[in-house]
């Protein structure tokens, strides 16, 4: 393999990884190659990625080079990325969302106490997706969360009153204590188990 | 270095660790007489002098010393409280064996994973947002596509109380350090005493608590003790007039 | 240009755009091509991107296909992006990951019991890096963990079936028998011997 071919491979990998166009100078610094060598390698790549030869094209943009997809693939790309995303809640997200739905408004520390493990990443994802939203602050200054309109739409609920009655999933329905109290007690019992305790 | 060849220089034994294990398992050394803390200290000394921590042998050491500790603690607990030992010796050995095998199995699996991981060194993936003109078309999930029962089930699971942890294997303390402190101070007040005198007729737990009480007296500068030879009498003396504080 | 070549171009573009590996099924849906056509196009791409031929390789990982860089470009990539590989794996993390990979879904207390020491900090790091994820709860309420797509991707695995049988690392039956024997003899000594002093 010639040096130019080898350099072209490396530049190909760099252009593939980079989100932004890369200038010949940046490519030279990264590959420790001279200006002319880089130019030769880019010329080779330009030929290999000439329109119609591959699914990608080498484009010169904003003083640098970047790969872009061939417009011929756009329909397929649209079909792939516009399919309703397989929107599945992870177990952690389902639990966090359920806690917010039934106990809103509720703070993150309380969600964590009920789950027995941190709910931070799940709560962040739910926030980003617009399933839950901020709703003021608790008396201790913690941000409170509630569900929003999108939540009702996605779950096909007219209002929060339509949330399923917990009774059918409730292991000990005879207990009269409030849902929140019971969830907190169960969460603390789980968290208090410690390594080897509960499971051991 | 393998843990097997760790050199030990203990009260009851001098030689490599694997020989010690063999002797213990052949009952040629009484586990009662073996100060496991000294074995740990010897290992720490070895680590310090070698200046490097070999995780492989450290894990081996921890598993072995844990096995010895478990054997020893069961020895110490055996006897009068038979109902506490509801695990048969061979069951206990099987359990211990299974655990040692498990730990070993997954340590080896971890080595394999690290090899896989290292083999992928230098492999990078592209992670870039979709170009703007494609991003627009990303569809929202459809209305009513989610099942509310998922939420009810989640709450039901969270309401589940975990089973209470069994504390059956933990002895209920029948004596307190405070009680034993008062007892020892009483003996000190009458002059010196030997440890055996202090625990005449006491059960195992009381003996153990009395050791704590004695250490507490030493810490407070009220008493000191001598022991002429290993396993000989321990004689305890007052350092000064004992303070008369109700424990 | 043949249909296969055209389809290969489109698939090339889709793989470039997607962050996650794409399965033949997803590729078929997006390109509206049949199973066999997709397979033929993938075979063509696999040849074009065979190791050493380009700066990129076509990899089959985590149940799908994706492009990855040739390790030969790593030095240049490190200089360009001025950060090394995403992370390194400590022995504790590797052990925890191995236990989760083989025994999933598994709870933290169980991991701790197998390792003999707490796995909390290792498990938290693995969670943060997305190598393991929550997967529901055990019957006792402990959170269960499993490995995710990122694990397969970073370890070069097509699926969990690529992991070798864990039994291959078991000691030989003779070694096991000897260990069992030693432990049993100690057990008998315990059962037979009377209680000694407390001086131990």
Q: Which of A47, A80, A113 is the last residue of a domain?
A: A80
CATH number for C42:
1.10.10.10
**Is B85 touching C (CB cutoff 8 A)?**
no
Q: What is the pLDDT of residues B220-233, one digit of tens each?
A: 778 888 877 777 78
| Band (B202; pLDDT cuts 50, 70, 90) | confident
Whether residue A115 is found in the same domain as residue A153:
yes
B130 chain-A contacts, CB cut-off 8 A? 81
Is residue A198 domain-resident?
no
Residues C108 and C68 in one domain: no
Residue C105 inside a domain? The answer is: yes
Q: Are B24 and B31 in contact, with CB atoms under 8 Å apart?
A: yes
> Can you tell me whether residue B136 is helix, strand or coil?
coil
- How far from C8 is each of A125, C11, C28, C49, C70, CA to CA, in Å? 35, 5, 11, 12, 20
How high is the pLDDT of residue C169? Answer: 85
Winning range, highest mean pLDDT, from B124-138, B175-189, C162-176? C162-176
pLDDT of residue A196: 36
User: Which residues in chain C have Cβ-Cβ distances shorter than 8 Å to A8?
Assistant: 55
Per DSSP, the residues of C112-157 read HHHHSS--HHHHHHHHHTTSEEEEEE-TTSPEEEEE-HHHHHHTT-
Q: Which of B134, B145, B158 sits opposite A87 (nearest CB)?
A: B145
C105 and C176 fall within a common domain: yes
Label residue B91 by pLDDT band (50, 70, 90): low
Interface contacts A/C by beta carbons within 8 Å: 148
User: Would residue C200 count as lying in a domain?
Assistant: no
Q: What is the pLDDT of residues A66-87, one digit of tens each?
A: 999 988 888 898 888 876 555 6
pTM over 0.80: no
Task: Give mean pLDDT, residues B158-186.
Answer: 68
Q: Is A188 on the interface with B (CB under 8 A)?
A: no
For residues C61 and C119, membership in a common domain is answered with no
Inter-chain CB proximity C110 and A199 less than 8 Å = yes
Per residue in A32-43, pLDDT tens? 988 899 999 999
- C30 part of a folded domain: yes
C85 in any annotated domain = no
Are A60 and A120 found together in one domain?
no
Residues A104, A155, single domain; the answer is yes
Same domain, residue pair A53 and A103: no
C73 and C101, same domain (yes or no): no
Question: Which tens digit of pLDDT belongs to each residue from B46-82?
Answer: 777 777 777 667 776 777 777 778 777 766 765 544 4
Q: Does residue A134 lie within any of the structural domains?
A: yes
| Average confidence (pLDDT) over C155-160 | 92
Residue C140 with chain B: CB contacts under 8 Å: 162-163
Query: Is residue C198 assigned to a domain?
Result: no
Whether A160 has its CB under 8 Å from any CB of chain B: the answer is no
Question: Interface partners of C (3+ CB pairs, < 8 Å)?
Answer: A, B
Instruction: Give yes or no: residues A75 and A107 share one domain.
Output: no
| Top-tier CATH class for B177-238 | mainly alpha
Residue B111 contacts C, CB cutoff 8 Å: yes
Distance CA C27, CA C35 (A): 9
Q: Give yes or no for B122 touching A (CB within 8 A).
A: no
The predicted structure's pLDDT at residue B85: 46
| A123 has a chain B CB within 8 A of its CB | no
Q: Is the peptide bond before A42 cis (omega within 30 degrees of 0)?
A: no
Q: Is residue A19's pLDDT more than 80? A: yes
User: Taking all residues of chain A, what is their mean pLDDT, rounded to a whole number?
Assistant: 85
Determine, yes or no, domain membership for A174: yes
In chain A, how many domains are there? Answer: 2
Query: What is the distance in angstroms between the CA of the first residue and the CA of the last residue of chain C?
Result: 85
**Span C132-147, average pLDDT:** 89
Q: For residues C39-51, give the mean pLDDT.
A: 92
Last residue of a domain, one of A80, A103, A136: A80
**Which of A48, A80, A112 represents a domain boundary (last residue)?**
A80
Ranges of each domain in chain B? 3-118, 177-238
Inform me whether the C-beta atom of residue B124 falls under 8 Å from chain A C-beta atoms: yes
- Say if CB C44 and CB C4 are below 8 A apart: yes
Of residues B37 and C94, the one with the higher pLDDT is: C94
Range of the domain at C20: 4-80
Write down the pLDDT at residue B237.
Answer: 84
Q: What angle do CA A163, A168, A169 make, to 5 degrees?
A: 90
- B152 and A81 within 8 Å at the Cβ level: the answer is no
Residues C160 and C72 in one domain: no
Asked if A99 and A160 sit in the same domain, the reply is yes
Residues A166 and A111 in one domain: yes
Q: What is the pLDDT of residue B175?
A: 67
Given an 8 Å threshold on Cβ–Cβ distance, is B112 in contact with C98? yes
Mean pLDDT of the region C11-21: 92
CA distance B172 to chain C (A): 19
| A195 close to B (CB below 8 A) | no
């Amino acid at each position: 393999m010639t040096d130019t071919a080898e350099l072209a491979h490396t530049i190909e990998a760099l252009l593939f990884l980079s989100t932004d166009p890369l200038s010949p100078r940046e490519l030279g610094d990264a590959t420790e190659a001279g200006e002319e060598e880089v130019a030769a390698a880019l010329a080779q790549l330009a030929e290999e990625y000439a329109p119609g030869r591959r699914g990608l094209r080498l484009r010169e943009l904003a003083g640098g080079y970047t790969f872009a997809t061939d417009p011929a693939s756009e329909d397929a790309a649209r079909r792939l990325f516009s399919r309703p995303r397989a929107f599945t809640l992870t177990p952690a997200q389902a639990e966090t969302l359920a806690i917010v739905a039934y106990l809103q408004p509720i703070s993150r520390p309380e969600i964590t106490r009920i789950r027995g493990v941190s709910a931070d990443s799940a709560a962040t994802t739910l926030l980003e997706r617009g399933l839950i939203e901020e709703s003021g602050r608790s008396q201790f200054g913690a941000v409170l969360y509630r569900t929003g309109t999108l939540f009702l739409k996605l779950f096909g609920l007219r209002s929060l009153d339509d949330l399923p009655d917990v009774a059918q999933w409730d292991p000990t329905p005879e207990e009269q204590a409030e849902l929140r109290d019971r969830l907190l007690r169960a969460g603390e019992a789980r968290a208090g188990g410690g390594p080897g305790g509960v499971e051991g | 270095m393998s843990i097997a060849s760790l050199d030990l220089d203990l009260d009851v034994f001098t030689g490599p660790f694997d020989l010690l294990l063999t002797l213990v398992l052949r009952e040629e050394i009484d586990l009662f007489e073996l100060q496991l803390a000294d074995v740990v200290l010897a290992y720490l000394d070895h680590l310090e002098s070698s200046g490097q921590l070999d995780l492989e042998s450290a894990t081996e050491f921890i598993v072995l010393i844990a096995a010895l500790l478990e054997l020893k603690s069961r020895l110490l607990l055996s006897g009068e409280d038979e109902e506490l030992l509801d695990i048969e010796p061979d069951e206990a050995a099987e359990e211990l064996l299974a655990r040692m095998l498990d730990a070993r199995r997954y340590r080896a699996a971890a080595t394999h994973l690290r090899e896989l991981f290292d083999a992928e060194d230098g492999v990078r993936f592209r992670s870039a947002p979709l170009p703007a003109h494609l991003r627009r078309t990303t569809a929202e999930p459809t209305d009513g596509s989610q099942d509310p029962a998922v939420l009810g089930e989640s709450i039901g699971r969270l309401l589940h109380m975990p089973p209470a942890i069994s504390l059956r294997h933990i002895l209920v303390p029948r004596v307190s350090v405070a009680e034993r402190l008062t007892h020892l101070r009483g003996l000190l007040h009458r002059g010196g005493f030997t440890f055996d005198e202090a625990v005449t007729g006491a059960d195992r737990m009381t003996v153990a608590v009395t050791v704590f009480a004695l250490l507490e007296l030493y810490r407070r500068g009220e008493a000191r003790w001598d022991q002429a030879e290993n396993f000989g009498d321990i004689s305890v003396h007052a350092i000064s007039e004992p303070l008369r504080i109700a424990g």
